[in-house]
Amino acid sequence: MNDDTPEILPPKLDLPALDKNVFEFRALKNSFLTVFVWVIGILASVPLFSVIFMLIVEGGSRLDLEAVTAIPPAGFETGGGFGNAILGTLIMVAIASAISIPIGIFAALYLSILEPSSKVATISRFLSKVLTGFPSILAGVFVYAVIVITTGTYSAWAGGVALAVLMLPTVTLAAEEAMRQVPQKMKDAAYGMGCTKTQVIFKIVLPTALPGILTGVILAVAGAAGESAPLLFTALFSNYYMSELAEPTASLSILIYNFSGMPFENQIELAWSASLVLVFLVLFFNILARVVGRSKFRD
């Protein structure tokens, strides 16, 4: 090697710039899509929040003790409220729950544990799924024909049964799903401890599935509380507090329907307040469902 041969230096590496470049094409595309998704997300929640906002603005002003306890005012009266409608809604939902929850849970036991693949189970599971999409007004018409006509009067009973018809498939399917998710290994363990089938169901399957069952039940209750169509021809409406279950009964949803169409300022204000109460009621049940849906002993 000669001394006068020039030393060959390694070429200077042409490192690409590692700094962030917001104007680079992919970075631009990324920022654009991020903004786009945010905007769409906000747009999607606009209807929900505007409804709640409007209800609070319009209904909040009249929401006081009188509104939730007094009976509905007549034509040109001022004041009044919808206490009887709140009570009516609660009682009819309670009747509906008392009918549909036990039947739904036992039906779910049959569908998920006792005879999951029998013909009866397959057919009733299919019919339950069909019934979840059942137009609610038809439940009202059905109960009108079966109960209102035979007893000769509109009643809280009939309203409760109509709501129960709507709740039953929801409760059944949710409870079936919850029970089906109880792992076989837990049932095996219980049989291995010397449990009878009844004990396995009451000590393991139902307690383990309880959060799921309750979630389904409460969502069904929330749905029923907001229904108006099935109550139109079953419970009708009443301007007074109920004195017995076998008489026409007021409900929040029907009160809103009636009052919002009236030409009186007072009634329209009350309809807004009643809507707000109804939304709170449904919201309360939904939040309750989320809270009880958390099992204490998860892994």
Partner 1 sequence: MTTKSDMGEFIAKAYQPKGPVVLDCQVKNIYYGDFRAVRDTHIPIEKNKVTGFIGPSGCGKSTVLRSMNRMNDLIESFRFDGSIHYHNNDIYNKKIDPVVVRRYIGMVFQLPNPFSMSIYDNVAFGLRLNRFQGDEEEMVVQALKRAAIWDDVKDKLKNSGLSLSGGQQQRLCIARAIATEPDVLLMDEPCSALDPIATRQVEELMIELKQHYSVALVTHNMQQATRVADVTAFLGVDISQGGRTGYLVEMDDTKKVFEDPQQELTQQYVRGEFS
Cα separation of 221 and 231, whole Å? 15
Using rule CB under 8 A, residue 296 touches partner 1: yes
Please, which of residues 234-253 interact with partner 1 by CB under 8 A?
none
Cα separation of 212 and 220, whole Å? 13
Using rule CB under 8 A, residue 189 touches partner 1: yes
Cα separation of 207 and 213, whole Å? 10
Using rule CB under 8 A, residue 186 touches partner 1: yes
Q: Which of 168, 178, 190, 236 binds partner 1 (CB under 8 A)?
A: 190
Using rule CB under 8 A, residue 202 touches partner 1: no
Using rule CB under 8 A, residue 188 touches partner 1: yes
Using rule CB under 8 A, residue 215 touches partner 1: no
Cα separation of 26 and 161, whole Å? 60
Using rule CB under 8 A, residue 266 touches partner 1: no
Q: Which stretch binds partner 1 (CB under 8 A): 35-43, 96-104, 156-164, 202-210?
A: 202-210
Q: Are the C-beta atoms of 66 and 80 separated by less than 8 Å?
A: yes
Using rule CB under 8 A, residue 180 touches partner 1: no
Using rule CB under 8 A, residue 172 touches partner 1: no
Q: Which is closer to partner 1, CB of 81 or CB of 211?
A: 211
Q: Which of 56, 94, 195, 288 binds partner 1 (CB under 8 A)?
A: 195
Q: Which is closer to partner 1, CB of 206 or CB of 220?
A: 206
Q: Which is closer to partner 1, CB of 201 or CB of 204?
A: 204
Q: How far is the CB of 292 from partner 1 (least distance, A)?
A: 15
Cα separation of 71 and 249, whole Å? 12
Q: Which stretch binds partner 1 (CB under 8 A): 32-40, 81-89, 189-197, 229-237?
A: 189-197
Q: Which is closer to partner 1, CB of 162 or CB of 206?
A: 206
Using rule CB under 8 A, residue 193 touches partner 1: yes
As a three-state string, the secondary structure of 149-191 is HHHCCCCHHHHHHHHHHHHHHHHHHHHHHHHHCCCHHHHHHHH
Q: How far is the CB of 189 from partner 1 (least distance, A)?
A: 4
Q: How far is the CB of 60 from partner 1 (least distance, A)?
A: 43
Cα separation of 208 and 93, whole Å? 26
Using rule CB under 8 A, residue 191 touches partner 1: yes
Using rule CB under 8 A, residue 69 touches partner 1: no
Using rule CB under 8 A, residue 185 touches partner 1: yes
Using rule CB under 8 A, residue 114 touches partner 1: no
Cα separation of 46 and 52, whole Å? 10
Give the footprint of partner 1 on this chain (CB under 8 A). 183, 185-186, 188-196, 199, 203-204, 207-208, 295-299
